[in-house]
């Protein structure tokens, strides 16, 4: 047998409901490296794929929210463990895509999963609490997950930008439909492979690759999406996305810190921005 062989070309697929389907349209686009070399084919998700992803996220949300905060924290920490074990792969993919410092980005991404995992069983105590009222009542503020969150990830940094939007969204019980950065979605697809082999239940994170101009308006206007994170949304699409989100009073969020490597980029406000706060009154005594 000849020692010569053809390499297996990569076709980066979508991640929906814990599975890796191709786009229902069959469309793909070329992912090119920083030097113009061909890296992979990526699926170009359609509106039907986006709807399927929202359906999967909605189905998974009650079960994910019902897990104890401690369990969700342990699952997020497990993602960090698996990322650590595949560090070399992610550094190579980020370097091929033109990342300035792949090692630093991978380290920051791992650390961000760990940081948000630590908040899982603490956020209710810090963000919620008992409120003083002028009457014979107990008054409690109880934080709850918003539901299904659409995330438009930044194009760069390709891995850290996505992790910084995913981790604070899912740690409290939300489920996510994320659109990876279009120029280099390969690290995002590899992250989906990590999630698929970790303890994250299928449907908690769903990943689409493709054109923001095609998918953002439909995610923003989808009536079964409860919130949308427009951090990575192209500026020319933001106004229309916000207008579409208003149709069902979606919560609209964007990163408050421009530098994703900054310590300020990981903050409790990134978690609470995608939560609902309910007030409960209870009479004192008989």
Is 283 strand, coil or helix? strand
Beta strand pairing call for 11-12 and 38-43: parallel
Q: Containing H/E element for 76?
A: helix 69-85
Residue 1 has a pLDDT of: 52
Per-residue model confidence as pLDDT tens digits over 204-227: 999 999 999 999 999 999 999 999
| Residue 285 pLDDT exceeds 80 | no
Looking at domain 12-283, its CATH superfamily turns out to be: Aldehyde Dehydrogenase; Chain A, domain 1 (3.40.605.10)
Q: For residue 180, report the phi and psi dihedrals to the nearest 5 degrees.
A: -70, 155
CB-based contacts of 168: which residues, under 8 Å, 6+ apart?
Answer: 116, 266, 270, 271, 273, 274
Q: What is the rounded CA–CA span in Å between residue 184 and residue 49?
A: 19
Q: Report which DSSP code applies to 161.
A: H
Convert the pLDDT of each residue in 177-206 to its tens digit. Answer: 999 999 999 999 999 999 999 999 999 999
Q: Where are the domains of the chain?
A: 12-283
């Amino acid at each position: 047998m000849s020692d010569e062989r053809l390499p297996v070309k990569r076709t980066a697929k979508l991640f929906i409901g814990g599975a890796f389907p191709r786009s229902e349209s069959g469309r793909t686009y070329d992912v090119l490296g920083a030097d113009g070399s061909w890296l992979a084919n990526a699926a170009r998700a359609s509106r039907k794929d986006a709807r399927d992803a929202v359906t999967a996220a909605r189905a998974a949300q009650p079960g994910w929210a019902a897990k104890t905060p401690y369990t969700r924290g342990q699952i997020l920490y497990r993602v960090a463990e698996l990322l650590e074990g595949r560090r070399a792969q992610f550094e190579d993919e980020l370097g091929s895509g033109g990342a300035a410092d792949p090692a630093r980005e991978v380290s920051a991404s791992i650390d961000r999963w760990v940081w948000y995992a630590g908040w899982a069983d603490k956020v209710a105590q810090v963000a919620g609490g008992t409120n003083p009222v002028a009457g014979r009542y107990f008054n409690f503020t109880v934080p709850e997950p918003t539901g299904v969150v659409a995330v438009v990830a930044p194009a760069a940094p390709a891995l850290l930008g996505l992790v910084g939007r995913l981790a604070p969204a899912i740690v409290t019980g939300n489920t996510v439909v994320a659109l990876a950065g279009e120029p280099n979605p390969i690290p995002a697809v590899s992250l989906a492979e990590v999630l698929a082999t970790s303890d994250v239940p299928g449907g908690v994170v769903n990943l689409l690759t493709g054109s923001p101009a095609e998918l953002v308006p439909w995610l923003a206007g989808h009536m079964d999406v409860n919130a949308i994170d427009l951090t990575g949304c192209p500026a020319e699409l933001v106004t229309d996305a916000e207008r579409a989100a208003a149709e069902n009073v979606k919560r609209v969020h964007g990163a408050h810190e421009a530098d994703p490597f900054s310590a300020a980029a990981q903050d409790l406000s990134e978690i609470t921005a995608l939560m609902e706060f309910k007030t409960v009154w209870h009479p004192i005594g008989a």
